[in-house]
Amino acid sequence: MHAEQFTASYTEQGDIHKEVFLNPTILKMIETIDNKKILDAGCGEGYLSRILAQSGASVVAVDYSKKMLEIAEQKTSDNLKITYHHGNCENLDFLEEQSFNLIISNMVIQDLENYQEAIQEMHRLLVDGGCFIFSILHPCFVTPESGWVKNDDGEKIHWKVDKYFYEGVYEQVFPQGHKEKLLLFHRTLTSYFNAITEAGFTLEGLVEPKPSEEMLKKYPSFEEDFRCSDFIVFKVRK
């Protein structure tokens, strides 16, 4: 998908799913932002880097897409402490080891072929005691064959999950209703857990975000997100 198309629906809170599910969860997990040196790994158009920098962090933001970085630079005012770099999260050897207190990666790790290497790379870049917080599509509910089963009236009966133990690449139409197919990777929850611990991290927190009352008032259609979970957010410590 083209960067412009992907970011067309973005506000300074990201897209609607970031606003409802991921931002409140990630910001709560971070606890304090002020004066932290943060890596935003797979920053996209940089909305989260800007939120963090506005709260006093000094941010290094990396993305593999030059177009995304161009959009991010355009949206970032000069007074914010953010430096954008082109790079691959699986190998960021232009960054020195132990140079960050905190690393955030919002909806990126599931897109990486070598996700274990990326998690190891985040471990290398963190100071001892530093945290890595990352969100992904929930691997128990978003699988190569998952989706709503509907009755003849189009009513959602239940969410179907299949091919959970398949690990590898698959195609999915995303966002739903669009023509274009994206290549996604699926791994089991066990594989993510093993990648975290084998890299040397300790799992400290895990959240399957639900919409708050406030968000439900603003976006009532998210009521259905009490039926199963689209996202999972990990907080791991070096």
Contact status: 111 vs ligand SAM (CB under 6 A): yes
Cβ closest to ligand SAM, residue 83 vs residue 223: 83
Contact status: 209 vs ligand SAM (CB under 6 A): no
In this chain, which of 107, 136, 195, 199 binds ligand SAM, going by CB under 6 A? 107
Cβ closest to ligand SAM, residue 133 vs residue 196: 133
Sequence-ordered alpha helix ranges (H) in the chain:
3-7, 16-17, 23-30, 47-54, 66-75, 115-125, 189-198, 213-218
CA distance 200 to 115: 15
CA distance 165 to 120: 23
**Which of the stretches 103-111, 125-133, 147-155, 225-233 binds ligand SAM when contact is defined by CB under 6 A?**
103-111
Cβ closest to ligand SAM, residue 103 vs residue 236: 103
Contact status: 230 vs ligand SAM (CB under 6 A): no
* SS3 of residue 185 by DSSP: strand
Distances (CA, A) of 77 to 5, 132, 133, 183: 22, 26, 25, 33
Residue count of the chain = 238
Shortest CA distance to 39 belongs to which of 124, 144, 140? 124
In this chain, which of 29, 30, 38, 43 binds ligand SAM, going by CB under 6 A? 43
Whether the Cβ atoms of residue 22 and residue 47 lie closer than 8 Å to each other: no
Cβ closest to ligand SAM, residue 122 vs residue 202: 122
- The residues in 55-84 that bind ligand SAM, with binding defined as CB under 6 A, are 62-65, 68
- The residues in 166-185 that bind ligand SAM, with binding defined as CB under 6 A, are none
- Contacting residues toward ligand SAM, per CB under 6 A: 14, 18, 42-44, 47-48, 62-65, 68, 88-90, 106-108, 111-112
